[in-house]
Structure 1
Amino acid sequence: MTALPPEEIWRGRPVPPPDAWPAARALDRSPVCRQSDFETGWFAWWTASLGERLRYHRKLWEFAVIAQALHERGLLRMGARGLGFGVGHEPLPAYFAARGCRITATDLHAEAAAGVGWIETAQHAAGLDPLQRPDLCPPDVLIDRVAFRPADMTAIPPDLGGFDFCWSACALEHLGSLAAGLDFIEASLATLRPGGVAVHTTEFNLSSDEHTVDHQGTVLFRARDLRELADRLTAAGHHVAPLDLTPGGGPVDRYLDLPPYRAEPHLKLALERFYTTSVAIVVTRGS
């Protein structure tokens, strides 16, 4: 990892290409966050569609990757049913509703969220108000197409089922342990109809496939954890988009952001004594 790249490499960049459009097969894999994705037409298209500014930030990558993965599988369509976990103040429920989807948005019960600081840092939703994005979806349309309910990701309510897709954006690493996060991904598949798709993003340990952070407020998943999960889900009859865990070699990829973290560039960062970035896991439920 290197020092901050020269500003001309990242400030005001990447520049959106003139042919920005969602790709047909950009997410037939489960990738890690890389600089090269930010410089594609599909990424620029999703950034604009979600009302965001194009910049090198991994949270933007998570939103764009979730939307792209669902789009190319034909799930962002009128009447499709989607379930969001730990939605906080994300733009995704509003955007999906604007595309005609019927969304159930969930987040931790308010009392539990206050106990871990999510409310104080504006990362928690307790109703539809934090999900309103008039620039993406008219308020009356959002109220009609989005329902909110509290839900614990470690104990998904059994009546949540039959959805066409579900997603979470960097929430499952806060469930208390590696095992709890992996169990959540598997449990989330039970909320889907056969052929439904789950897209989850989380923390990926770039430093070690042996040592990591576990049993803390934020845990870091290793390559071996994800491979074992993929094997487990495949054995259960599901399809996991192949893992693509190469970290990328661009100058922004090589920059390690240190606390207090920058607004940009922010793709790879130091957490505890490890380097980490975001990874997306894309799973299609089997029959």
Structure 2
Amino acid sequence: MGRLPWWFSPAGRRQRREAARRREAQDLLDLLAGDAEFAPRLHALVVEAIGHRLASPNDAEGRPHLDPLSLALRELPNTVLNVKTLAADLARRQAERLPAVPPPAAPRRIRLTSRVCRQADMEQPWMAHWREALGARLSYHRKAWEYGFILQALWEAGMLAPGKRGVGFAVGQEPLPSFLAARGVEVLATDLDSADGRAAAWAATRQNAARLDDLHHARLVDRETFLARCSFRPVDMNHVPADLAGGFDFVWSSCSFEHLGSIEQGLAFVEATMACLKPGGIAVHTTEYRFSEDGPKLDNWPCVAFSWQDMKMLAGRLAVRGHRMLPIEEAAGRLPLDGYIDTPPYAPMSGKGLALPAPPHLRVSVEGIPATSLGIIVQAGPAGPSVASP
């Protein structure tokens, strides 16, 4: 008996099976595109048909997959790591080129207005002052920029002084309540109730506060002073309590209102917080900002991204109620790190036997959309609270 054709060999049978699976997957995708009613079930079938290729580059016997999808995806993780490593080295070199001068001992007025995060800000003396005051080192990370922006805005408005009252929303475990308490400010810190199912993901990454102790940073303020000046209260940002109206000199939030479920809910939150302010008070918020007006819109999602037009609309809505958003400084930055977009996973990967320093994180990919932090400053009108909680 002659040898069977290769098509009937074990390798040939495997190839036929893989070809059949690809045909099945394509058929399911065609159905998925044409019948939304069964989309969830069909999507699960598609994942079952091709998902094994995404789970591992090799089969159960250790041999690499050779189908087009596997070949296309095989080196993608290594490419991402290469880019992150080079970006981290670039950030290190950018920091090393800065003059070796101590941060200014006192804040400097720069007439801060609403603006987007950028590399140049991280290297300015005014930002270095707040970084030193918080006990942090230079890091090209947008969260560090957000803290500096908020504190600079509050200081320029005369809010970092004994007797002032501030309320922070979705504070997580950030250092600002402790920092403010050390300067004589009375602080009400709020966050989503830890019993709320939505808080579980934030708690897992230490970004949710369940009690006042979660907010105490001993390096910034002693415990006695902190407890005397800070209080904590669970608050859902989609329902700002009416009893907070008119009781505060300032409000703040740090990259929080993009997580409220939609663009409209985020804008409504900013409006609602204005009711918390005394006449002439100030609101300082940072949030997710997408650069492109013409690109894809990210809305009705756990993390949305606001555009220039969204902010223009918000400014108009606030103006109708007698408030004023300071204009957004349009310069987005042209230095090297302003052109790097960090992609998930954002944290350095461990356990691979590789030296992987943290890359810069001033620009990020949010569901594939280039974005950064936007800081807005809103001055309350002289007539006092005028916006009710939705």
TM-score by length of 1: 0.94
CA distance in structure 2 between the partners assigned to 1:224 and 1:212 by the alignment? 12
Report the CA distance between 1:22 and its aligned residue: 1.6
Residue of structure 1 equivalent to 2:354: none
CA distance in structure 2 between the partners assigned to 1:129 and 1:19 by the alignment? 30
Residue of structure 2 equivalent to 1:31: 115
For each residue in 1:250-285, what CA deviation from the matched residue of structure 2 results, as whole angstroms up to 9, or x when unmatched? 001111111112544110011112100000110010
CA distance in structure 1 between the partners assigned to 2:257 and 2:371 by the alignment? 15
From 245, 256, 266, the equivalent of 2:361 is: 266
Give the 3 Å change call, closer, same or farther, for CA 37–16 of structure 1 in structure 2: farther
Report the CA distance between 1:154 and its aligned residue: 0.7
SS at structure 2 position matched to 1:55: coil
CA distance in structure 2 between the partners assigned to 1:249 and 1:24 by the alignment? 23
Q: Is the 8 A contact 2:103 2:128 kept in 1?
A: no
Does 2:196 match 1:101? no
Q: Is the 8 A contact 1:223 1:245 kept in 2?
A: no
Q: Is the 8 A contact 1:110 1:126 kept in 2?
A: yes
Does 2:340 match 1:245? no
Residue of structure 1 equivalent to 2:219: 135
Report the CA distance between 1:93 and its aligned residue: 0.3
From 367, 375, 379, the equivalent of 1:280 is: 375
Give the 3 Å change call, closer, same or farther, for CA 15–191 of structure 1 in structure 2: farther
Give the 3 Å change call, closer, same or farther, for CA 217–140 of structure 1 in structure 2: same
For each residue in 1:125-163, what CA deviation from the matched residue of structure 2 results, as whole angstroms up to 9, or x when unmatched? 011111111110101100000000000111011111320
Report 1:192-231 matches (<5 A): 192-209=277-294, 211-231=296-316
CA distance in structure 1 between the partners assigned to 2:100 and 2:239 by the alignment? 41
Report 1:158-197 matches (<5 A): 158-161=242-245, 162-197=247-282
CA distance in structure 2 between the partners assigned to 1:145 and 1:272 by the alignment? 40
From 206, 209, 213, the equivalent of 1:125 is: 209
Structure 1 unaligned spans of 5+:
none
Report the CA distance between 1:208 and its aligned residue: 3.0
Q: Is the 8 A contact 1:16 1:39 kept in 2?
A: no
Q: Is the 8 A contact 2:117 2:373 kept in 1?
A: yes
The structure whose RCO (Cα within 8 Å, separation 6+) is larger is: 1
Report the CA distance between 1:6 and its aligned residue: 2.8
Give the 3 Å change call, closer, same or farther, for CA 14–141 of structure 1 in structure 2: farther
Give the 3 Å change call, closer, same or farther, for CA 113–26 of structure 1 in structure 2: farther
Flag the structure with larger Rg. 2
Q: Is the 8 A contact 2:161 2:185 kept in 1?
A: yes
Report the CA distance between 1:169 and its aligned residue: 0.1
Give the 3 Å change call, closer, same or farther, for CA 265–16 of structure 1 in structure 2: farther
CA distance in structure 2 between the partners assigned to 1:225 and 1:125 by the alignment? 29
From 145, 149, 170, the equivalent of 1:61 is: 145
Residue of structure 1 equivalent to 2:20: none
Aligned sequence identity (%): 45
SS at structure 2 position matched to 1:77: coil
Q: Is the 8 A contact 1:75 1:165 kept in 2?
A: yes
SS at structure 1 position matched to 2:188: strand
CA distance in structure 2 between the partners assigned to 1:86 and 1:229 by the alignment? 20
Give the 3 Å change call, closer, same or farther, for CA 261–112 of structure 1 in structure 2: same
Q: Is the 8 A contact 1:154 1:175 kept in 2?
A: yes
Q: Which amino acid aligns with 1:272?
A: E
CA distance in structure 1 between the partners assigned to 2:335 and 2:260 by the alignment? 32
SS at structure 1 position matched to 2:204: coil
Give the 3 Å change call, closer, same or farther, for CA 130–72 of structure 1 in structure 2: same
Report the CA distance between 1:231 and its aligned residue: 1.4
SS at structure 2 position matched to 1:275: strand
Give the 3 Å change call, closer, same or farther, for CA 113–170 of structure 1 in structure 2: farther
TM-score by length of 2: 0.70
From 124, 132, 151, the equivalent of 2:235 is: 151
The structure that is strand-richer by fraction is: 1
Pairwise CA RMSD: 1.8
For structure 1, which segment, 225-234 or 142-151, has the greater mean C-alpha deviation from structure 2 after superposition? 225-234
Structure 2 unaligned spans of 5+:
1-82, 348-357, 384-390
Residue of structure 2 equivalent to 1:70: 154
CA distance in structure 1 between the partners assigned to 2:120 and 2:304 by the alignment? 26
For structure 1, which segment, 255-264 or 144-153, has the greater mean C-alpha deviation from structure 2 after superposition? 255-264
Report the CA distance between 1:80 and its aligned residue: 0.2
Give the 3 Å change call, closer, same or farther, for CA 285–113 of structure 1 in structure 2: farther
Report the CA distance between 1:189 and its aligned residue: 0.3
